[in-house]
Chain A
Amino acid sequence: MPDFTHYHFLGQKPNEKILLVVHRHWFNILSQFFVVFLMLFLFIGTYLYLPLVFSSLSNPINADLFYFLENLFFMFVWIIFFLIWVDYYFDVWIVTDQRIVNIEQKGLFSRVVSELELENIQDITTDVHGVIPTFLNYGNLFVQTAAEKERFIFRNIPDPYGVKDLVMNLQKTREHKEEEQFGELIRKKVHHNEIG
């Protein structure tokens, strides 16, 4: 199991231990980065071939303008690359020993944080749909809660079956612990009544 001791999130409780941090599958970001790769290809292509095709670019005034525009274009690509990366990297599901935290990042100005206590989990469903998701083993995980009608969704995560097993085991352990605590409480109560 990977080590998450270096990880910390806003709102983490003092005794809370992170067990799993899940981002979307790399294929999901790859399809978004495809636009960036195309832009980079265009940048390199124009940088190498335009001066060969247009002889007027050898003129110092035009050359200065050309290099300025190329630099400006690269700045644009650089920012787009990081905007996509921020959207990917901060869109995360955190499984701790107490709860599941979903941080949904949409662009730079939208961030939704929702959480679900492990004892509120009723049912977990996985959905791996399509050729590429089946081949690369990624998909959705739906967690049905006891209190809310709305489902908690892990979107396009790698190894949804593994995550499902982990969450179910955690939930069972938690449930078992609660039952033991309740049993202990009843035993104490009965013992107290017998003495009394």
Chain B
Amino acid sequence: MLFLILALYAILVILFIITAFFIVYHLSKYSLNSSLNKIMLPIFIILSALLLLSNVLLFFSINWNSLLRNLPVSF
């Protein structure tokens, strides 16, 4: 069960990284306004990285074994 949760979480993280990568790609390659680009790119990259980092930390801070043991339905 723990493996399944970890696998699902890994898929979510990968999807987030891929989507963020393509947003950065569009912003850097197709942006018309260079001055707006200089503001938007750092904001997006820094905040996305912080969000991802905090999410990974929160995921690993959860006591999954204890949580799964207390589940009303056992798998």
Interface residue ranges, A against B (CB under 8 Å): 6-10, 21, 61-62, 64-65, 67-68, 71-72, 74-75, 78-79, 82-83, 86, 90, 92, 94, 103, 105, 108-109, 111
For residue A92, which residues in chain B have a CB less than 8 angstroms away from its CB? 32
A65-B63 Cα distance, complex, nearest whole Å: 9
Cβ-based interface call for B14 (8 A): no
Q: 27 A-B contacts, Cβ less than 8 Å apart?
A: A6-B34, A6-B35, A10-B30, A21-B32, A61-B63, A64-B61, A64-B63, A65-B62, A67-B58, A68-B58, A68-B59, A68-B61, A68-B62, A71-B51, A71-B58, A72-B12, A75-B51, A75-B52, A78-B48, A79-B16, A83-B19, A83-B23, A86-B26, A92-B32, A108-B23, A109-B22, A111-B30
| Distance between A174 CB and nearest chain B CB, rounded to angstroms | 23
Q: What string of 1s and 0s marks CB contacts (under 8 Å) between B28-48 and chain A?
A: 011011110000000010011
Q: Which of B30, B35, B58 is in CB contact (< 8 Å) with A64?
A: B58
Total contacting residues, chain B, CB less than 8 A: 29
Q: Which of A7, A74, A108 is in CB contact (< 8 Å) with B22?
A: A108
For residue A82, which residues in chain B have a CB less than 8 angstroms away from its CB? 23, 44
A75-B16 Cα distance, complex, nearest whole Å: 8
Closest to A59 in B: B70
**What's the count of A-B pairs with C-beta under 8 Å?**
67
With A75-B16, A75-B51, A78-B48: A61-B62 Cβ-Cβ less than 8 Å: yes
Interface residue ranges, B against A (CB under 8 Å): 12, 16, 19-20, 22-23, 26-27, 29-30, 32-35, 44, 47-48, 51-52, 54-55, 58-59, 61-63, 66-67, 70
A67-B29 Cα distance, complex, nearest whole Å: 35
| Distance between A163 CB and nearest chain B CB, rounded to angstroms | 17
